[in-house]
Amino acid sequence: MILFINFPKWIKPEIIQGFPVRWYGLMYVFAFITTYIVFRYQANKKEIEISADDTQSFFMFCIVGLLLGARLFSVLIYNGTNYYWTHPWMIFWPFYNGRFVGLPGMSYHGGLVGAIIGGLIYSKKNNRNFFELADVLSIGIPLGYTFGRLGNFINGELWGRVSTSKGAILFPYADKFSTNYEWVRNIANQLNINFIQGDLINLPRYPSQLYEAIFEGIFLFLIMWFIFRKKRKDKFNGYCLSWYLIGYGIIRFFIEYFREPDLNLGFIIKLNPSANNPALLESFINFSLGQLFCLIMIFSGIILYLILKTKKMKNLGEKSEHRK
């Protein structure tokens, strides 16, 4: 009887063993290309007037902003220490102990902020309507995002909380737990995992990376493509961006219950102090930093929607008065 799934041994982070290029980095390339293709498809359908050259320039601004924001949020906020605040020259240094490690650690929310700033700079510089561009871009972002989370799964990182469900996966690089804790022994016994008290053992986790790839990626893309994209022409610039912020924020907020919070941060909001083990899903009223950022996304999307809708209604009213 299968009680959990072992992480496939044939999946390796490196594309070629010994060569410092990982699937995760390649997945970023796939993500950017996919988002670009979706953007250009809409442009070719005359849903937005923008040339291929201008699209490439727009994407370059957004991608640079995304990479800067994702890295800065990861090391300055999620790191949980003052190391990078006191050693800022190490933020973009890709070597550790003389070995090339790339830039491990990228924050989605930081990438979002950086991409928005990059898009705003491009729009200002080229006299374009930022919200018109952002609407078209936000349609394809979830599909591109899917590749990022698949990259996390291949790396065996950003695993979920400990689970005894049959769909749980034993990730080889996940943090181990001491069997001196009663809850660890109980779960190990339940899953028929042999141990000696005092051992450090690995326990199966929710594959939260795959949950995110499916729901924040493919599912959200289908909603954006078949529902909000169709309504965009009858609405206002910023309509799709607003719903992307709301939709992603809601989906990610609930998936965060299955994803283990960063151990160096734990729960940011603890309304149930007795359920303080971040490795277990014990309470729905203790919230991670990711959930806090998701709430900010949701409220930002709602506020943006109301402001832009009110502005359009006001403009329509002024035009109607002018005709009279």
Which 3-state string (H, E, C) describes 218-232? HHHHHHHHHHHHHHH
Q: What is the DSSP-derived secondary structure letter of residue 215?
A: I
What 3-state DSSP class applies to 69?
helix
Q: Shortest CA distance to 248 belongs to which of 169, 171, 138?
A: 138
CA distance 194 to 198: 12
> E strand or H helix at 28, and its extent?
helix 23-44
Q: Quick one: angle between helices 130-155 and 23-44, nearest 10?
A: 150
Tokens encoding 99:
């070995």
Answer yes or no: are the C-beta atoms of 13 and 22 closer than 8 Å.
Answer: yes
Q: What is each CA distance from 266 to 116, 258, 261, 277, 305, in whole angstroms? A: 28, 14, 6, 8, 32
- Residue 161's region, left for phi above 0, alpha for psi from -120 to 50, else beta, is beta
pTM of the entire predicted model: 0.92
CA distance 279 to 285: 15
Residue 77: how many CB atoms within 10 A of its CB? 16
Report pLDDT for 92: 84
> What per-residue confidence (pLDDT) applies to 1?
66
Question: How does pLDDT run along the chain (324 residues), one tens digit per residue?
Answer: 678 999 998 888 888 776 767 788 889 899 999 999 999 999 999 999 999 999 999 999 999 999 999 999 999 998 878 888 888 888 888 777 777 666 767 899 999 999 999 999 999 999 999 999 999 999 999 999 999 999 999 988 899 999 999 999 999 999 999 999 999 999 999 999 999 999 999 999 999 999 999 999 999 999 999 999 999 988 999 999 999 999 999 999 999 999 999 888 899 999 999 999 999 999 999 999 999 999 999 999 999 999 999 998 887 776 666 665
Query: How far from chain centre, in Å, is Cα 43?
Result: 26
Phi, psi for 178 (deg, rounded to 5): -80, 135
Number of CB atoms found within 10 A of residue 12's CB: 14
**String of b and e for 202-211 (b: at least 16 CB within 10 Å)?**
bbbbbbbbbb
Q: How far apart are CA 112 and CA 209, in angstroms?
A: 18
Place of tokens 């973009």: 92
Strand-pairing partners, residue 226, are none
Specify the pLDDT at position 285: 96
Strands 269-270 and 286-287: antiparallel
